[in-house]
Structure 1
């Protein structure tokens, strides 16, 4: 798939079908984008499970933090990646190793690795890179902007 541009219907389908999101790189700091995006997703009706080994067992925006994707004890529909592009291949590998493979791997603005995306897509996982769901939700579904 060409990740330079996404069809609106592709993004819309993801936003409408995803219910549980694991956010890798979630931060407890309210000034960090991952924190505000997590809160926006929660307010938009998604269950968000923060993943951050340094914060494991604590809470971020009321949700208990998992140390890794493997530590989440329920299936997740989407893995949202708030880590640098260099970490994307490792996150994809961890996601694909889960007992219940997520339907989507979504990397945040500025985060892209085409080989990691190809690996996920070969496993049947949809990929969105260099986009923010907190921008796409109001653009495609309406509602308040982030």
Structure 2
């Protein structure tokens, strides 16, 4: 897939089908974008599970934080990546190692790694890069 543009129906289909989202790079700091987006997704009815090794065992936005994807005790539909581009490949590898893989890996604004995307897509996982669900949801009225 060409990741320079996404059809609106592709994005809307993802946002309307996922329910449980693992948010990697979650921050307890309300000034950080990951914290605001997490709060927004929670307000829209998504089950959001924060992932941050430095915060594991604590809570962010009232949700228990896990150190890594493999520690989450329930299957996730989507992994939302709030990490720098150089970490996207590692997140893809971590997702591919799960017994129940997510349907989608979504990387936030400015986060892109085409090789990581190709690896995930080859394993049947949908990819969205350089987009924010908190921008796309109101735009598409998802």
User: How high is the TM-score relative to the length of structure 1?
Assistant: 0.96
CA apart distance, 1:18: 0.2
The 5 A counterparts of 1:1-146 are: 1-141=1-141
Distance 1:92 1:80 in 2: 11
Q: Give 1:141 deviation, angstroms.
A: 1.2
User: Where in structure 1 do 4 or more consecutive aligned residues deviate above 6 Å?
Assistant: none
Secondary structure at the counterpart of residue 37 of structure 1: helix
Q: How far is 1:7 from its partner?
A: 0.2
List gaps (5 residues or longer) in structure 1.
none
**1:111 alignment partner, SS class:** coil
- Deviation of the 1:128 alpha carbon: 0.1
Write out per-residue CA displacement over residues 4-61 of structure 1, whole angstroms, 9 at most, x where no aligned residue.
Answer: 0000000000000000000000000000000000000000010000000000000000
Over aligned residue pairs, what C-alpha RMSD do you find?
Answer: 0.6
Query: In structure 1, how many angstroms separate the alpha carbons of the residues matched to 2:141 and 2:57?
Result: 33
Q: SS of 2:14's equivalent?
A: helix
Unaligned runs of 5+ in 2: none
Name the SS for the 2:94 alignment partner. helix
Partners of 2:118 and 2:9 in 1: how far apart? Answer: 20
CA distance, structure 1, for counterparts of residue 51 and residue 92 of structure 2: 14
Q: Distance in 1 between matches of 2:100 and 2:141?
A: 27
- 1:54-100 CA-partner distances (Å, limit 9, x unpaired): 00000000000000001001000000000000000000000011010
